[in-house]
């Protein structure tokens, strides 16, 4: 039994000693009715409600909270069952601080729960301090969980509409990009036709033919890059080794790497688990990242690839010693047709961003002009229970003491 429970019972017994049996019976019936009423009310509301003591032991859990967190029905019967076991990523050391000022603050955080199914929740912790009891360890706290999954999905639908609008703009850009090589192709083919009719200068005609073929290849590349950037490809996830995928990608690109005299350094870490992903799409993303790094480097530069395991993620990093990315381009580097290369379409990193996002991973970039760039990808582990999105604190005093 929690310390707060035993203290409450001791105080109740002391008060009952001074009452006659009829009054005691009346108080017990009243408490029973009120307890039943409160349990009925809490079981009927949509928000999850959990009451904990200052050590994190759960004292009450309503029906909605059981459902949201997938708690076993006998969770309150387990001796020493702590809320920390079920919401692991929260900073409980700070939330349960004995500092009186900290205990008077209402904490608000947005979290993602992946078991028993995906939910996006607003988490509120409302401290309750009984001013009549000087012992700070006897305080309680109310946890409220508000399901905002549908709201987030609606927001994501709005984003998707905006994305379709962006695709329309992208299509207009592609039409413009296609127009340039098509015009060049048309002119050279017309000139080639004249020369072939005269049959006077076959060598110059062959040169024009080669120009036309190069333009056709460039046009084909633009079209395929556009399709890869905007076409949703279903993911076929399986257990994959990032080390194996990157190693295979490097093997495919080794001729160009050797030709550019670029040094490759790898650090794969120890006991790094596989992640869930589509090997073909992930290899395409890695190819684009490595190719982007190669194009940004000069002869003798280096590319370092490392892998790291944290409590929640497998992180892979690609660090080059190339020219870096200007600061004014960093915020838009994953937008189409944003490129600091003369012949770049800017679609390669758009494809990377789409693939990584569809895998539920996080893509980040750090860059310094003249020093190089680092692309980091965080793949979440499958058994990660929640993800902390944001946090806020409100200076609100909560006192529910009615005595």
Write out pLDDT tens, residues 370-398. Answer: 889 999 999 988 655 455 555 444 443 43
**What angle, 0 to 180 degrees and rounded to 10, lies between the N-to-C axes of helices 202-230 and 348-358?**
30
162 with 258, same domain?
no
pLDDT beyond 90 at 314: yes
* Nearest-angstrom CA–CA distance, 91 and 26: 44
* Residue 301: pLDDT band with limits 50, 70, 90: very high
* Nearest-angstrom CA–CA distance, 180 and 186: 10
* Cβ neighbours for 100, distance < 8 A, ≥ 6 positions apart: 129, 136
Is 186 or 15 the better-scoring residue by pLDDT? Answer: 186
pLDDT of 295 reads: 87
114 with 254, same domain?
no
Average pLDDT over residues 224-235: 65
In a domain, 90, yes or no: yes
156 with 136, same domain?
no
Provide the number of structural domains found in the chain. 3
pLDDT beyond 70 at 175: no
- Residues in the chain, total: 403
Is 307 or 234 the better-scoring residue by pLDDT? Answer: 307
* Nearest-angstrom CA–CA distance, 226 and 273: 34
What is the domain range of residue 308? 235-386
As a whole-number percent, the residues of the chain with pLDDT over 90 amount to 15
CA distances from 199 to 136, 161, 206, 212 (A): 100, 56, 11, 18
pLDDT of 307 reads: 96
CATH label of the domain that carries residue 59: 3.30.450.20
139 with 162, same domain?
no
Whose CA is closest to 96, among 65, 53, 135?
53
pLDDT beyond 60 at 124: yes
pLDDT of 191 reads: 75
Is 28 or 379 the better-scoring residue by pLDDT? Answer: 379
* Nearest-angstrom CA–CA distance, 180 and 219: 9
Q: What's the chain's average pLDDT?
A: 76
In a domain, 399, yes or no: no
Last residue in a domain, options 215, 231, 247: 231
Last residue in a domain, options 231, 251, 284: 231
339 with 363, same domain?
yes
* Nearest-angstrom CA–CA distance, 299 and 259: 9
Average pLDDT over residues 149-175: 70
Predicted confidence (pLDDT) per residue in 84-102, tens digit: 888 887 888 777 775 666 6
* Nearest-angstrom CA–CA distance, 287 and 336: 18
163 with 282, same domain?
no
Bridge partners (DSSP) of residue 305 are 266, 318
pLDDT beyond 70 at 227: no
pLDDT beyond 70 at 289: yes
Least confident of 55-59, 223-227, 258-262: 223-227
356 with 374, same domain?
yes
CB-count exposure of residue 298 (10 Å: 0-12, 13-18, 19+): exposed
* Nearest-angstrom CA–CA distance, 214 and 184: 10
In a domain, 102, yes or no: yes
55 with 100, same domain?
yes
In a domain, 400, yes or no: no
Is 126 or 273 the better-scoring residue by pLDDT? Answer: 273
CATH label of the domain that carries residue 326: 3.30.565.10
In a domain, 395, yes or no: no
115 with 227, same domain?
no
CB-count exposure of residue 217 (10 Å: 0-12, 13-18, 19+): exposed
* Nearest-angstrom CA–CA distance, 353 and 359: 10
* DSSP structure string for 196-231: HHHTS-HHHHHHHHHHHHHHHHHHHHHHHHHHHHHS
CATH label of the domain that carries residue 204: 1.10.287
In a domain, 392, yes or no: no
Last residue in a domain, options 231, 262, 297: 231
Predicted confidence (pLDDT) per residue in 339-381, tens digit: 555 554 556 788 888 888 888 898 988 888 888 999 999 998 8
Tokens of residue 304, six digits: 């370092």
In a domain, 216, yes or no: yes
In a domain, 159, yes or no: yes
């Amino acid at each position: 039994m929690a310390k707060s429970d035993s203290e409450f019972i001791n105080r109740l017994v002391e008060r009952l000693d001074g009452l006659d049996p009829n009054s005691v019976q009346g108080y017990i019936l009243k408490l029973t009715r009120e307890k039943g009423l409160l349990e009925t009310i809490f079981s009927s509301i949509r928000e999850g409600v959990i009451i904990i003591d200052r050590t994190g032991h759960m004292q009450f859990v309503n029906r909605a909270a059981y459902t949201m967190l997938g708690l076993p029905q006998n969770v309150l019967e387990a001796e020493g069952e702590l809320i920390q076991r079920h919401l692991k990523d929260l900073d409980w050391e700070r939330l349960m601080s004995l500092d009186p000022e900290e205990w008077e603050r209402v904490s608000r955080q947005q979290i993602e729960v992946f078991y028993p199914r995906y939910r996006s929740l607003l988490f509120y912790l409302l401290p309750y301090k009984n001013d009549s009891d000087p012992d700070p360890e006897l305080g309680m706290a109310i946890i409220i969980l508000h399901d905002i999954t549908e709201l987030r999905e609606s927001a994501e639908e709005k984003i998707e509409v905006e994305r379709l609008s962006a695709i329309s703009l992208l299509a207009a850009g592609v039409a413009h990009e296609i127009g340039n090589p098509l015009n060049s192709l048309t002119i050279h083919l017309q000139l080639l036709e004249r020369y072939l009719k005269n049959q006077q200068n076959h060598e110059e005609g062959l040169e024009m033919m080669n120009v036309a073929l190069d333009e056709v290849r460039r046009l084909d590349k633009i079209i395929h890059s556009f399709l890869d950037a905007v076409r949703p490809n279903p993911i076929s996830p399986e257990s994959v080794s990032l080390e194996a995928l990157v190693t295979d990608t490097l093997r495919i690109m080794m001729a160009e790497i050797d030709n550019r005299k670029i040094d490759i350094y790898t650090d794969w870490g120890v006991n790094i688990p596989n992640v869930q992903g589509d090997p073909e799409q992930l290899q395409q993303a890695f190819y684009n990242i490595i190719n982007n790094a190669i194009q940004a480097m000069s002869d003798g530069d280096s590319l370092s690839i490392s892998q790291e395991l944290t409590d929640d993620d497998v992180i892979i990093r690609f660090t080059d010693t190339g020219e870096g990315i200007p600061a004014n381009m960093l915020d838009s580097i994953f937008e189409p047709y944003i490129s600091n290369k003369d012949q770049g379409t800017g679609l390669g990193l758009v494809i990377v961003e789409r693939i990584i996002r569809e895998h539920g991973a996080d893509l980040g970039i750090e860059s310094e002009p003249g020093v190089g760039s680092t692309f980091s990808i965080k793949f979440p582990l499958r058994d990660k229970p929640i993800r902390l999105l944001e946090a806020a604190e409100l200076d609100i005093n909560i006192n529910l003491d009615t005595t």
